Structure 1
Amino acid sequence: MSDEYKKQGTVEVTELSSLENNTDERIDPNSGLRRGLKTRHVTLMALGGIIGPGSVVTIGVLLHNGGPAALVLDYGIVGILAFALMQSIGELNVLYPATNGFSNHMSRFVDKAFAAMTSYNYLIVWITCLASEYNSVCSTLQFWGPQIPMYGYFLMFWSYFTAFQFLGVATYGEAEFWLALFKVVVFIAFYFFVLVYMCGGIPDRPAFGFHNFNTPWGDNEAIKSIATVLTGVSTAYTDCD
């Protein structure tokens, strides 16, 4: 064994020992990474992460194309599958903790090539989800402010959110906390307003309830409506996960 190899091994053992003996609980002894997110950051990021454009924009399109019955049925089916999936991933993460998440489980139980393929697919999914979210928010703002082109809104939001990526984990977590809190409060107020509006709580507006839902499957047959809505619902749950 060469002296250089021995020296490298000694340095790695010394670094590992220093991490294990570190009294700072915020430093992970396995990876050496320092935890900068607090519990309130993680909690609000989880709550805010499940609320996206699919909660307003996509659900309206699916409701128009597939009808309310297909929407409720598909959300129930995909919700049960997503719950079982996340519970299983949580159990594996507790039993086999790792910094690289589910790709570690793929390498352990299937194959490294399968783990690489899954990771690339996950990257592609999030690129498309991010593009969809930017497109939704920019289209909505351009409807109310057509003076600014869509790419202008995109550059503003992209610069704003990218800036927080370079300010450290703690600053990013704080920004996400307040943005998610604002999002949760706005959606609670929005759903409360919708309930009051449907029940006739707005002056000079009659209560209409679910009278507009005269076609439970839209303009299609039941099977076609379920299949049509299933794709959009699955995408919405993928964004949440």
Structure 2
Amino acid sequence: MENEKYEKGAPDVDVVSQITDSSVHDQTHRKLKGRHIQLIGIGGTIGTALFVQIGSALTEGGPGSLFLAFTIWSTFILAINNCLSEMVTWIPIASPFVRFADSFVDPALGFCAGINFFIFEAALVPFEVVAFNLVLQFWTDKIPIVAVIAIVLFLYAILNVFAVGWYGESEFWLAVGKVVLAVGLMAFTFVTMIGGNPLHDTYGFRSWDPSKVAGAPFAEHIKTGSLGRFLGFLTCLIQASFTIAGPDYVSMTAGEAELPRKTLPRAFNSVFYRLTTFFVLGSLCIGLVVPYSDQNLLEALSDAKPGAGSSPYVIAMQRMEIPILPHIVNALILSSIFSAGNGYVYCASRTLFGLALQGKMPKILARCSSNGVPIYSVAVTLAIALLSFLQVSNNAAVVLQWFVNLVTAAQLLNYAIISFTYLKFYYALQAQGIPRERLPHRSFWQPFCGYYAFFGTFIMAFVGGWTVFLPGNWDVPTFLFSYAMLGLAPVLFIGWKIVKGTTWQRAEDMTFFDKEREQVDLYEDTHVSGISSSRFAKIGDFFFA
């Protein structure tokens, strides 16, 4: 490694990671600043699920179950955040948790984890493109679907192909819009619930009052009595497991983060608190602004009204005769969807890039442009996004459900692999006499968080499609899409293990990417960040660095 690559004042240093095949290197550039990473962790998870789709769970479980489910699932996200933060800040490499599974557990698990996460992220790109078109129809359905899809995919290509700095900057400001929307809707809830609305209706916690709303706050779903209320809660918990994320998106920036040991701990520490603020308080607000049995909400969901038309917030605004705001909400939701899809292109391409670095995908996918962008991995991701055109010949709602069913179990399986990998990492440190105090960032409640996250996410992965097993509800496509990834994962693991003859890693023999850590140490010791000349960038650095 030539020391010239680490000269002071070179803000676009590329940290080269040596891997098994020395002819393939990590040529990405560390250009993502702290504020980029902070907002990428938030922006990648806030979208239609929080503002629109959550209304469906509200009608099935009631406001109490919705709030309780989102609160409980946030504790699992905290546990996953703790597991990732400790490993990634010490070893900040590209596609980290995929490569950790490879080195800390078994190369076969690394291959399984990489394919699973790539399919998950890549499938979410067309999901968001389809959702973008639906939200646009809140105003008009005159724009050809083909044109909308083509424009969105073209913009994703522009933002992801030319330089990681373009992606980071665009995602930062798009994510700021999401934060403004989420905070604005919570403020809207507080103001209107105390009478600050055109009707001067002080509704407070009326939707939680069983004397005002029958069955509140815990609604019965499918069955009656306690079992029905439990099933309502379970439906809300499944929605929460699909909606709340964040730590995995922060970790995917590790290989391109500027001064990772300084910026990543801050990002990990803030992700949980910010996401739980948005999701826990957001779920509370949803259950306040409109009753779970509201007829307008039920009709909007059954008729699949486009865009914000199915959002509980917009329905509440219409009920309170508030003009203009629904259009503002729809516009911000539109930007939220675009931002989420943009983030999925980034994460999917970096996952494919990480697999190529390890020799688990063709070497060409590890090649980068002069700007440090894995150009071929981005191209493959965008090619898969062409599945968005399925909605041209199919109902958009049906296509959306296909993607939702496919990715929900994949996300939970990914979390289970991350937490299991951490447990192997934790006990390997003990076996080799490496004190955790030497780590640049040490998480709390370990190894409890590892076990808690593993068992919770693993069990929930099998629960997601439970309704298909009810009498009269059997549906082959629903079953296949709900459990396809759970069936594919062991096939990938066993197949790779047999073909490649991989070995389960023993705690005493495990290595911790020593060369890569040394290179990061050298980079951080000699690196001087470039000075941004943008006034807007300076404002962002001030608030989010």
Pairwise same-fold verdict (TM > 0.5): yes
> Given the superposition, is the C-alpha separation of residues 43 and 34 from structure 1 closer, same or farther in structure 2, using an over 3 Å criterion?
same
Deviation of residue 196 (structure 1)? 1.5
> Given the superposition, is the C-alpha separation of residues 139 and 218 from structure 1 closer, same or farther in structure 2, using an over 3 Å criterion?
farther
Q: How does 1:136-147 map to 2 (within 5 A)?
A: 136-147=131-142
**1:142–1:150: 8 Å Cα contact kept in structure 2?**
no
Confirm or deny that 1:234 pairs with 2:241: yes
2:148 and 2:189 map into 1 onto residues whose CA distance is 28
**2:101–2:107: 8 Å Cα contact kept in structure 1?**
yes
Give the structure 1 partner of residue 192 of structure 2.
197
Deviation of residue 87 (structure 1)? 1.0
Deviation of residue 185 (structure 1)? 1.9
Give the structure 2 partner of residue 173 of structure 1.
168
Matching residue's letter, 2:130: N
Give the structure 2 partner of residue 13 of structure 1.
none
Give the structure 2 partner of residue 6 of structure 1.
none
Offset from partner CA, 1:167-200 (integer Å, 9 cap, x none): 2111222212221222222332232123222222
> Given the superposition, is the C-alpha separation of residues 112 and 135 from structure 1 closer, same or farther in structure 2, using an over 3 Å criterion?
same
Q: Which of 83, 108, 118 is the aligned partner of 2:103?
A: 108
1:211 and 1:21 map into 2 onto residues whose CA distance is 62
1:151 and 1:21 map into 2 onto residues whose CA distance is 47
1:45 and 1:96 map into 2 onto residues whose CA distance is 20
For the residue of structure 2 that corresponds to 1:155, the secondary structure is: helix
Q: Which of 36, 40, 57 is the aligned partner of 2:31?
A: 36
For the residue of structure 2 that corresponds to 1:144, the secondary structure is: coil
Give ranges in structure 2 of 5+ residues lacking alignment: 18-25, 222-227, 249-545
Give the structure 1 partner of residue 129 of structure 2.
134
Give the structure 2 partner of residue 10 of structure 1.
none
Q: How does 1:91-106 map to 2 (within 5 A)?
A: 91-106=86-101
> Given the superposition, is the C-alpha separation of residues 152 and 193 from structure 1 closer, same or farther in structure 2, using an over 3 Å criterion?
farther
Confirm or deny that 1:218 pairs with 2:219: yes
Offset from partner CA, 1:118-159 (integer Å, 9 cap, x none): 111111221333333233332122132122244443333222
Q: Which of 28, 37, 45 is the aligned partner of 2:40?
A: 45
Offset from partner CA, 1:15-41 (integer Å, 9 cap, x none): x13466544364225445321222222
My pick for the range that moved more, 160-169 or 142-151, is 142-151
Q: Which of 45, 61, 64 is the aligned partner of 1:66?
A: 61
Give the structure 2 partner of residue 182 of structure 1.
177
For the residue of structure 2 that corresponds to 1:217, the secondary structure is: coil
Q: How does 1:147-166 map to 2 (within 5 A)?
A: 147-166=142-161
For the residue of structure 1 that corresponds to 2:201, the secondary structure is: coil
Matching residue's letter, 1:232: Q
Deviation of residue 46 (structure 1)? 2.5
For the residue of structure 2 that corresponds to 1:135, the secondary structure is: helix
Deviation of residue 84 (structure 1)? 0.7
> Given the superposition, is the C-alpha separation of residues 100 and 128 from structure 1 closer, same or farther in structure 2, using an over 3 Å criterion?
closer
**1:65–1:225: 8 Å Cα contact kept in structure 2?**
yes
1:171 and 1:21 map into 2 onto residues whose CA distance is 23
My pick for the range that moved more, 220-229 or 151-160, is 151-160
For the residue of structure 2 that corresponds to 1:143, the secondary structure is: coil
Confirm or deny that 1:206 pairs with 2:213: no
**2:63–2:218: 8 Å Cα contact kept in structure 1?**
yes
2:34 and 2:88 map into 1 onto residues whose CA distance is 18
Matching residue's letter, 2:2: S
Give ranges in structure 1 of 5+ residues lacking alignment: 1-15
**1:142–1:149: 8 Å Cα contact kept in structure 2?**
no
For the residue of structure 1 that corresponds to 2:99, the secondary structure is: helix
My pick for the range that moved more, 182-191 or 115-124, is 182-191
Give the structure 1 partner of residue 2 of structure 2.
17
For the residue of structure 2 that corresponds to 1:56, the secondary structure is: helix
2:77 and 2:63 map into 1 onto residues whose CA distance is 21
1:92 and 1:207 map into 2 onto residues whose CA distance is 49
**2:84–2:247: 8 Å Cα contact kept in structure 1?**
no
Length-normalised TM-score, structure 1 = 0.82
Q: Which of 115, 124, 137 is the aligned partner of 1:120?
A: 115
Matching residue's letter, 1:230: L
1:110 and 1:187 map into 2 onto residues whose CA distance is 39
Matching residue's letter, 1:190: L
> Given the superposition, is the C-alpha separation of residues 107 and 41 from structure 1 closer, same or farther in structure 2, using an over 3 Å criterion?
same
Deviation of residue 96 (structure 1)? 3.6
1:152 and 1:199 map into 2 onto residues whose CA distance is 44
For the residue of structure 2 that corresponds to 1:207, the secondary structure is: coil
> Given the superposition, is the C-alpha separation of residues 236 and 69 from structure 1 closer, same or farther in structure 2, using an over 3 Å criterion?
same
For the residue of structure 1 that corresponds to 2:138, the secondary structure is: helix
Offset from partner CA, 1:77-123 (integer Å, 9 cap, x none): 21111111121111112344432300121112211111111111111
Deviation of residue 65 (structure 1)? 1.8
